[in-house]
Amino acid sequence: MASEGYYLPGLYVQEGSIPVPLDWDGAEPGSWTSEGHPDDPTISCFYRTICAPEHIHDDLPLLVYLQGGPGSGGPRPLDQTSDGWITEAVKHFRIVLPDQRGTGRSSAIDSHTMRELSQPEAQAAYLKHFLADSIVRDFEHLRRTVFAGRSWITLGQSYGGFLTLAYLSAFPEGLAASFTTGGIPHVPADPTEVYTHTFPRMRAKTEAFYERYPQDLDRVAAIADRLAQGDVTLPGGDPLTVERFQTLGADLGRQAGAARLHWLLDTAFLNGDGSIPTGGSVGLSDAFLEGVRTATAATPLYWPLQEFIYADGDCGPIRWAGQRVRDQHPEFQTDSRPLLFTGEVVFPWMFDQEEALKPFAPAVRLLMEDGHWGRLYDQDRLASNTVPLQAAVYFDDLYVDSGMQLDTLSRVGNSHAWVTNQFEHDGLHGNQVFGHLYREALDRGDLEGLF
């Protein structure tokens, strides 16, 4: 049940938590109880609701936010204006912000969890319960129990779009409508296909970065040459290798990412005047090293689960799809110049170099050879879908290929795509995207009867 509420500027907040089974196999959302199944291992599903203070006692329609990731908790808003979509949505909805299992306050997983499980086989079996097939069952159980079975609207950002199609496949009766932003997966899912599209886009994003900031071409080369000597460490002790430096490119798919990367490089050298040292005597500043550490650190489950979000049913082993595709592109090698940045791709070396990921390494290596996963997408049910689905497809999206999104949407019933090149992958967090989707759905009558 929800706790007594409290206020943030422009928001009224309530919190709650319910138990859910670790393994949903054989259990039905809404019917399962921890009391009725005392031998079932359980975890918690934590959620917040927020609304505008003037709407505390109003019977508003429910909008549940499906967080991107994987492995990220729900938003922690500072006030009504701290996230663009919340500013607009709180005018019309009571918003539900759940923490996906394994994140935030929903039985969060980190390196300590892996050490406690000890055996790689137990670790791998545990991690398999923290993907979309289980997440949508948690949320459906939340809807049926805490919210008395009221249908709700989903808003899925990035990986939240993957959750949306899994939800529409499993429990369409629970949804009044769905919005997605930059997050329609290709169905059938295939990570090798995903990365085959990703690396050419990453090259184009890097080239555009150098065209915009030509002074950074030599800066990046000088930094990479220094890192290749193999003796640079980040605050906290992780080695800073060329490979990890290249992963700064993940930010190039966000609205201000190119500028952030430019300003980080601007402070890289110790000489103080911004000139580029020569002769291998490059000294890297503490500010730069801390900036790289912060920019390349991820939530504990993000990299361990990254490639497994594409695993659907008996799909066969994934076997480091991103690394296999990268190996086909010699222009991304660490000694190539100009140095190309990489995007949201997990690589085997991460689990050897990064202290926070080392406890996950044995389990992830086992899972890379596992070909049997939970079923995510029901293509027949999606084809006959009647739940209104409005998708924002960012034409130049670095992370989720727009052509693959549109191909999937062409085979999902009652789906509508808004294709735009005005925004990067994080466009939802501005002040336009959600409002546009909401107005389109309202004008088509997709929200009829909710207000």
Condensed to tens digits (0 to 9), the pLDDT of residues 264-311 reads: 999 899 876 767 877 666 789 999 999 999 999 988 999 999 999 999
**Do residues 28 and 149 both lie within one domain?**
yes
**Do residues 360 and 408 both lie within one domain?**
no
Q: Kindly report the pTM of this predicted structure.
A: 0.97
Q: Is 320 part of a structural domain of the chain? A: yes
**Do residues 143 and 56 both lie within one domain?**
yes
Domain that holds residue 307: 191-367
**Do residues 214 and 318 both lie within one domain?**
yes
- pLDDT, tens digit (0-9, with 9 covering 90-100), for 391-449: 999 999 999 999 999 999 999 999 999 999 999 999 999 999 999 999 999 999 999 98
CA neighbor of 254 nearest in space, from 322, 197, 182, 164? 182
Q: Is 450 part of a structural domain of the chain? A: no
Please say which residue of 343, 367, 391 terminates a domain: 367
Please say which residue of 306, 338, 367 terminates a domain: 367
Distances (CA, A) of 6 to 51, 52, 202: 11, 12, 44
CATH code of the domain covering residue 127: 3.40.50.1820
Which position has the token pair 């609207």? 153
Please say which residue of 305, 337, 367 terminates a domain: 367
Q: How far apart are CA 65 and CA 423, in angstroms?
A: 20
Q: Is 449 part of a structural domain of the chain? A: no
- pLDDT, tens digit (0-9, with 9 covering 90-100), for 79-94: 999 999 999 999 999 9
pLDDT at 4: 83
pLDDT at 274: 67
Q: Is 438 part of a structural domain of the chain? A: yes
Relative to beta strand 62-66, strand 11-21 is unpaired
Which position has the token pair 């700064």? 248
Sequence-distant (6+) residues with CB within 8 A of 286 are 235
**Do residues 185 and 195 both lie within one domain?**
no
CA neighbor of 435 nearest in space, from 65, 92, 178, 81? 92
Domain count, the chain: 2
**Do residues 48 and 195 both lie within one domain?**
no
Sequence-distant (6+) residues with CB within 8 A of 29 are 137, 138, 140, 141, 144, 171
**Do residues 309 and 436 both lie within one domain?**
no
pLDDT at 231: 94
Q: Is 1 part of a structural domain of the chain? A: no
**Do residues 74 and 119 both lie within one domain?**
yes
**Do residues 184 and 196 both lie within one domain?**
no
**Do residues 157 and 27 both lie within one domain?**
yes
Which position has the token pair 């090293």? 289
pLDDT at 451: 77
For the chain (451 residues), the mean pLDDT of every run of 10, in chain order, is 85 98 97 95 98 96 97 96 96 98 97 92 98 98 98 98 98 98 96 97 98 97 95 96 98 96 94 70 90 93 97 97 98 97 96 96 98 97 98 97 98 98 96 97 93 77
**Do residues 345 and 380 both lie within one domain?**
no
103 phi-psi bin (left φ>0, alpha ψ -120 to 50, beta other): beta
**Do residues 312 and 433 both lie within one domain?**
no
